[in-house]
Amino acid sequence: MADTSSKTMDKKNVVWPPGGHAKLAMWAGIKGQLDKILLPFVDGDLGSIKTRDADELIKEAIAKKDAVKDTYFKIGLIGSDLVLRVKAKEKGIAQILGYDQQDALLLKKCELKKAGAAEPAKVTETIKFPTYIALSSDDCKPLLNEYLDVGDGFKITLEIKVEGVAENSGLKGRVTEEHKRLCERYQKEAKAIADEAATTLSKLTVRSGRTLQEVADDANTKLKKLFDQATVAKAFEVAVLAMAQKDSNLKQHVKEWKIKAACTAVITTIKLATAFARLAASHGADVTAYGSIVTCGFSIYTLIKDFAKTEEAAAAELDKSIDLYKRSANDLLAEVEAAFKDNKLKSGTVLGTLGTLGDAASLAQDRITAKIKKLTGKDVAQEPESVRLRYLVELGKLLNALDKHFETMNKAMETFRASSINEAVKAWPKLQELKTACKEAIDYFRTRETYAENAKAEIQALNIAVDDSTTLDKLKSFVAGVRGLDSSKVMAGAGGVLTVANTTRTAYSAVSGLVTAVKAFV
């Protein structure tokens, strides 16, 4: 066809819509029934209408998102050609579209009926919509889904009946837009209620059966009110009426309409998540087992922590004894060296001969004898050995207690593994870590028994032979050996106890936060 876009379409030649122009979205609703819509106004073979070019023109215009709001179409005659005309409201929109107006041929050789445009018949139009899921678990935060269950979700099904609407008015397309907006609004409000519940959950000090149910009840009350069927239906009626009053094609007929909307709302009941519901109902061995596991873990940690203090005290006592011995050995060497120097003795001279070398040497020998007695006295080795024996006694008590707690923990773990609580709190991996840490602690203290034997050998090394037959050379060699004793090695591994305690504490902390919540269900 020749391009008709530059030609004026007189108002008298505008066939549809009656108001003069329609939104682009309405084309989808009327194109399949153009023959019926145009029949009252146009003479011609309406069964031969071709919409392909019009489809393409509308599609291209809708693609220009910045322009679509202020672009419209109308159907009318240019000469004897029936065309669909897309037109921009203003110059700025025309620049986006690339034209002020553009035509697409629908049918050739038409003319208006001489009687003029007849008033379209009035009908009752009922529009039904598919069920809309306004809230499901996918819309909820992970924390809420962990503790609460929204079941099949909250759904609304809407329909609306409008009496007195002009036949083929394009109402369905416009009402569909309002339905979408209304559903999205309800979805947003429902999600806000769910998010509020999740926030409340995050602030709970104790997540018990009672406190979780309170959160669920509050959300249920608010959602039930939100999805009240009468309220939703009325909101839909108001939205459709407001839309029609603003629409230039519909507003002139609104006063003649009777609008009635109906809503079917499927309202589920938010409840405790399945696993927590079973937990709340169990009141049995699974809850008791969990509490026993965690309690044993804490007891083991406490025993280790307390033993760390005992071992630290033992280390201090042993170090004190060994350091005292070092100082005495050094003093003895200094005393002997002075006596040998003053009496000009050779370093190979035995100490027992000093008394025969004059008064000064005799006094020196008395002092040396006193120091030797101190060094070789029973206190030198007896005090550390006493400390070591006390350590062994405390270690035995510790291991006995640890073994008992661990046996109880192991039995509780077996009970727990087969129970519903495993699924409920998902704590099994953390409990396994706690069990492993406790087992490693016990194994570690078994090695401390070996340490105690090693400490005995170190203590026995303090009993040296220093007597009248000892020479200065031998004494120097002996003192050098004493200086080589490293007291920190005697109690090597003392810091390991604290490491074991901290490891156990970390493992315990990972599960202890659930203790109150779990016990609250019982």
What pLDDT is attached to residue 415?
A: 67
Residues 321 and 394 in one domain: yes
Are the beta carbons of 308 and 498 closer than 8 angstroms? yes
Q: Which two tokens stand for residue 467?
A: 């007597």
In this prediction, residue 423 has a pLDDT band, given cuts at 50, 70 and 90, of: very low
Q: Does any domain span residue 236? A: yes
> 3-class SS at 248?
coil
Are the beta carbons of 225 and 256 closer than 8 angstroms? no
What pLDDT is attached to residue 116?
A: 45
Q: Does any domain span residue 153? A: no
Q: Does any domain span residue 275? A: yes
Per-residue pLDDT, averaged over 53-80, amounts to 87
In this prediction, residue 98 has a pLDDT band, given cuts at 50, 70 and 90, of: confident
Are the beta carbons of 112 and 77 closer than 8 angstroms? yes
Per-residue pLDDT, averaged over 7-20, amounts to 79
Are the beta carbons of 475 and 347 closer than 8 angstroms? no
> 3-class SS at 80?
coil
Residues 478 and 334 in one domain: yes
In this prediction, residue 191 has a pLDDT band, given cuts at 50, 70 and 90, of: very high
Per-residue pLDDT, averaged over 158-166, amounts to 80
Q: Does any domain span residue 111? A: no
Residues 393 and 476 in one domain: yes
Averaging pLDDT over each range in 63-77, 115-129, 448-462, which range is the top one?
63-77
Q: What residue numbers bound the domain in which 256 lies?
A: 176-308
Report the percent of the chain where pLDDT is more than 90: 10
In angstroms, the CA 453 to CA 430 distance is 36
Q: Does any domain span residue 14? A: no
Residues 472 and 332 in one domain: yes
Q: Which residues, at least 6 apart from 137, have a Cβ–Cβ distance to it below 8 Å? A: 145, 149, 150, 153
Peptide bond into 17 cis (omega under 30): yes
Q: How many structural domains comprise the chain?
A: 2
In this prediction, residue 507 has a pLDDT band, given cuts at 50, 70 and 90, of: low
Residues 238 and 255 in one domain: yes
Residue that has been written with the tokens 């033992």 in this structure = 314
Are the beta carbons of 172 and 213 closer than 8 angstroms? no
Q: Does any domain span residue 59? A: no
Residues 261 and 327 in one domain: no
> Pairing between strand 42-43 and 14-16?
unpaired
Residues 210 and 329 in one domain: no
Residues 298 and 327 in one domain: no
Are the beta carbons of 480 and 343 closer than 8 angstroms? no
What pLDDT is attached to residue 345?
A: 76
In angstroms, the CA 338 to CA 351 distance is 12
Mean of all residue pLDDT scores within the chain: 75
The distance of Cα 156 from the centroid of its chain, to the nearest Å, equals 31
Q: Which residues, at least 6 apart from 435, have a Cβ–Cβ distance to it below 8 Å? A: 293, 297, 409, 410, 413
In angstroms, the CA 215 to CA 464 distance is 77
Residues 254 and 328 in one domain: no
Residues 270 and 304 in one domain: yes
Averaging pLDDT over each range in 14-28, 114-128, 295-309, which range is the top one?
14-28
Strand-pairing partners, residue 149, are: 271
Q: Does any domain span residue 332? A: yes
> Pairing between strand 122-128 and 154-166?
antiparallel
In angstroms, the CA 390 to CA 159 distance is 87
Task: Name the amino acid, one letter, at 516.
Answer: T
| 25/119: higher pLDDT | 25
Q: Does any domain span residue 99? A: no
Residues 265 and 401 in one domain: no
In angstroms, the CA 509 to CA 522 distance is 22
| Predicted confidence (pLDDT) at residue 217 exceeds the cutoff of 80 | yes
Task: Name the amino acid, one letter, at 6.
Answer: S
In this prediction, residue 223 has a pLDDT band, given cuts at 50, 70 and 90, of: very high
What pLDDT is attached to residue 225?
A: 93
Residues 250 and 386 in one domain: no
